[in-house]
Amino acid sequence: MCRILIIDDDKDLCKLLKRNLENEGYSVSICNDGESGLQEAQGADYQLVILDIMLPKKNGYEVLLELRKTSHIPILMLTARDSEGDKVSGLRMGADDYLTKPFSNSEFLARVSSILRRSMLFGKNRDTNNKIILGDLSIDVLKHEVCKENAIIELTAKEFDLLLFFAKNQGQVFTKRQIYNAVWDDEYAFDDNNIMVHIRRLRKKIEDNPEMPTHILTVWGVGYKSGGTLG
C-alpha cells in the first residue's frame, strides 16, 4: 500500500484530505508542524509528502530543503500562496508539483496520482549520492546539471527530464506513450512528433555522433531505450 504523509497545520483540511486519500486506497499519516513532519518523513518509508509552506516551528521551504539533502521522495507543495515567484521557488528547491488552495478534490487526487505514477517510472533506480552515470555523462539530480568530460551541457528543463528518465531506467525499452505520460506528466495525445523532436535535440547535445547515438537508442517498432544498464 502506498504511504502518504501530510504536513499541514490546518487540522480540518488534513482530516478531509486523509479521508479522500484513504477512499482511494492510500495509507495516510498527518503532522501539524514542520519540525515533527520533517522527523516523520526522515524516519519512515513514505512514497509521497504533501507539504504546506506556512507551518509552525519549521516552514515548508525549510522542510523541503532538509529532505532534499538526503531524499528524493516526491513532494507536493500545498499552500495558499499563489504568486509565480512562490511556485518557482518551491520547484527550484526540489518540489515535484505545486497546488494552490483552494482546490477541488478531483484536482488534488489527480495531482497525487500523477506524481506517484511518475515516481514509479523514474524511481526504480534511485541513486544515493544524487549523481547518475550514463556512459560518459554525469547527471547531478539535485543540481539539474549534466556534465560530459567535465564540461556542463546546457539542457532545457524538458530535455533534462527526458535524459533523467532514460538514465533512471537504463536498459529498459519504453513506448512513446510511456515516455510521454512520464516526462510530459500528461495523458498521451498521439503527439509522437513532440517526443521525436526533443530526442533529436537532446541527441545533438549529448552524443558524439547524433546519427549513431549511444545514450538514447531507437528500438524500431517499439520506442526508445537508454544505451546502458544499471547494475
Beta carbons of 37 and 55 less than 8 angstroms apart: yes
CA distance 219 to 173: 7
The predicted pLDDT at position 124 comes to 45
* Bridge pairing between strands 3-7 and 48-52: parallel
Take residue 183 and report the three cell numbers written for it: 516526462
Per-residue pLDDT of the chain (231 residues; tens, 9 = 90+): 688 999 999 999 999 999 999 998 899 999 999 999 999 998 888 889 999 988 999 998 899 989 888 777 889 988 876 666 666 677 777 788 888 888 899 999 988 988 887 776 555 444 445 778 888 899 988 778 899 988 999 988 888 889 988 988 888 888 888 888 788 766 655 556 778 889 999 999 999 999 999 999 999 988 899 886 543
